[in-house]
Amino acid sequence: MRTQVAIVGAGPAGLLLSHLLARRGVDSVVVEARSRSYVEHRVRAGVLEHPTVELLRAEGVGARMDAHGMPHEGISLLFDDTLHHIDFADLVGRGIVVYGQQEVVKDLIAARLRDGGTIEFEAADVALHGLTTDRPSVSFTDVAGITREIECDVVAGCDGFHGPSRQAFAPTVVERAYPFGWLGVLAEAAPTHEELVYAAADRGFALYSMRSPQVTRLYLQVPADEDVAAWSDARIWDELGTRLGGMALNEGPFLEKPSITGMRSMVAEPMRHGRLFLAGDAAHIVPPTGAKGMNLAVADVAVLADALEHFFHRGSDRGLDEYSATCLRRVWRAEHFSSYMTEMLHRFDPGTERGDAFGRALQLSQLRYTVSSRAAATSLAENYTGLPHGGIA
């Protein structure tokens, strides 16, 4: 095969990049290790920032999001036994849309196949070659067991932290692991609150969220090494009720087995190696508290698509040369905001500096300031609803 851009990974980053390139007259082929069914049903993030929503609409893949997504004009912070509303619409004039990552993936796959795009699902033994030359390539074994190679001009690594793209060179990696995780459940139960609720309870953090008018998404802070088997359905609902301060909850059957997600931050610099460009989780990971993971991936490929358009149609390297630095400015802003939200809302071990009485008092002070100061609330709203793609100083 011969194409202009070989894209490794068919998550939101890889699929959206392929779609954006096609609309700019640039050919691409997407290679994905998993099956189409797997990637279309992989439940991940559900909050779309305002710039993400606007981009999907502008690029012709927002119709189903507009029909079925759930627009929100704010969030609530629950502490001191009181629900405090952060009004995004009033503070910054924009909001978010709750629409599952798997739904975005379905929309993008449908668009690429409708437009004649090539997605190679169930590709095994994916390997990258010649990345420091002007003729890199990607090899893989297809679903029929045949070894194939894609010759290209550029490789986009959109295959996550464990994929071959990030491992193809040695970027500088900085990371931070938190001593807790999120136990997440997806319940067949109608939401009882119109917006996300972030609860900073004495027993630990809880998040009340939703995926549709019929499905609720809920999380509990647990120790990083917690055994999920120790949590029965009844215990999960009881703990949610306690941490959410008696807020009314509709209980329903879980649509998937409860699972625990670790909390960590990671940034790989630079996001470029020769003709390889990293995007999304291959280059950075954020704790989910700030709802930034998928949105950062979208921001990366929005910048990369414009740079590649200039490269192929105008012969300009400038956008590609500036790609890593441009994206990393937004990445580090999102890392800071995600860390801020995580450390403000979660309980740390009482035996640690951040978990002692002094640390807890600082958390509560920050929460009270955030909900009582318009300037502090505006900063939270501005970061949560999303900063411009590529426009961070």
Do residues 75 and 207 make contact, with C-beta atoms less than 8 angstroms apart?
no
Q: List Cα–Cα distances, 295 to 13, 166, 201, 226, 376, in angstroms.
A: 9, 19, 27, 28, 22
The pLDDT value given to residue 389: 87
- Dihedral of alpha carbons 223, 224, 225, 230, sign: positive
Q: Which pLDDT tens digits describe the chain residue by residue (393 residues)?
A: 999 999 999 999 999 999 999 999 999 999 999 999 999 988 777 899 999 999 999 999 999 999 999 999 999 999 999 999 999 999 999 999 999 999 999 999 999 999 999 999 999 999 999 999 999 999 999 999 999 999 999 999 999 999 999 999 999 999 999 999 999 999 999 999 999 999 999 999 999 999 889 999 999 999 999 999 999 999 999 999 999 987 899 999 999 999 999 999 999 999 999 999 999 999 999 999 999 999 999 999 999 999 999 999 999 999 999 999 999 999 999 999 999 999 999 999 988 878 899 999 999 999 999 999 999 999 999 999 999 987 665
Give the pair of three-digit tokens for residue 234: 């009844």
| pLDDT value of residue 45 | 78
Helices and strands per DSSP (H, E), number in the chain: 11, 20
pLDDT at site 246? 75
Tell me if 104 sits within 8 A of 90, measured CB to CB. Answer: no
Domains and CATH numbers, the chain: 5-73+96-174+263-342 (3.50.50.60)
pLDDT for 393: 54
Cα 13 to Cα 59: distance, rounded to the nearest angstrom: 14
Q: What is the distance between the alpha carbons of residues 154 and 242, in angstroms, rounded to a whole number?
A: 52
What pLDDT, on a 0 to 100 scale, did the predictor assign at position 355?
87
pLDDT score at 170: 95
User: Side-chain half-sphere of 280: how many Cα atoms within 13 Å?
Assistant: 26
Which residue shows structure tokens 């954006």? Answer: 20
Catalytic residues: 72, 198, 288, 292, 384
